[in-house]
Amino acid sequence: MNYSEIKSQLSSKREIVITTHKSPDGDAMGSSLALAQVLKDAGHNVNVMVPDVFPKFLNWMEGCDQVIYFDQQEDECSIGIQKAEMIFSLDYNQLDRVGPMGKIIESAEAIKIMIDHHLFPDKGFDYVISDTSASSCAELVFDFISNLGFESFLKQSTCESLYAGIMTDTGSFRFSSTGAKTHRIAAELIDRGLIPNVVHEKIYDTNSINKLRLTGFALENKLEYFEEKKVAVIGLELSSKNRFGYQKGDTEGLVNYGLTIDGCRMAIFLSEELNCVKFSLRSKGEIDVNLVARKFFNGGGHKNAAGGKLDINLKSALELVKKVIQDEL
Contact 166, 186 (CB under 8 A): yes
SS3 at position 207: coil
Q: Could you say which of 121, 141, 302, 318 contacts ligand 5GP (CB under 6 A)? A: 302
Q: Could you say which of 125, 182, 300, 314 contacts ligand 5GP (CB under 6 A)? A: 300
SS3 at position 245: coil
SS3 at position 49: strand
137 binds, among Mn ion, ligand 5GP, none (CB under 5 to 8 A by kind): Mn ion
**Minimum distance between the CB of residue 227 and Mn ion, rounded to whole angstroms?**
32
300 binds, among ligand 5GP, Mn ion, none (CB under 5 to 8 A by kind): ligand 5GP
14 binds, among ligand 5GP, Mn ion, none (CB under 5 to 8 A by kind): none
Q: Show the DSSP H helices in the chain as ranges.
A: 3-9, 26-41, 74-83, 101-107, 137-147, 156-169, 180-191, 196-204, 209-221, 238-243, 254-259, 289-296, 314-328
For 320, residues 6+ apart whose C-beta sits below 8 A from its C-beta are 296, 310, 312
Strands 223-226 and 127-130: unpaired
Alpha carbon distance 93, 121 (integer Å): 5
Check residue 309 for interaction with ligand 5GP (CB under 6 A): yes
Q: How far is Cα of residue 76 from the mean position of the Cα atoms in its chain?
A: 23
Site string for ligand 5GP, 16-55 (x = CB under 6 A): -----x---x------------------------------
Q: Which is nearer to ligand 5GP, 10 or 312 (CB)?
A: 312
Q: Which is nearer to Mn ion, 169 or 250 (CB)?
A: 169
Q: Which of residues 24-43 bind Mn ion (CB under 5 A)?
A: 27
Q: Which of residues 73-112 bind ligand 5GP (CB under 6 A)?
A: 97
Alpha carbon distance 64, 69 (integer Å): 11
Contacts with Mn ion, residue ranges (CB under 5 A)? 27, 91, 137, 169
Contacts with ligand 5GP, residue ranges (CB under 6 A)? 21, 25, 97, 118, 280, 299-302, 305-309
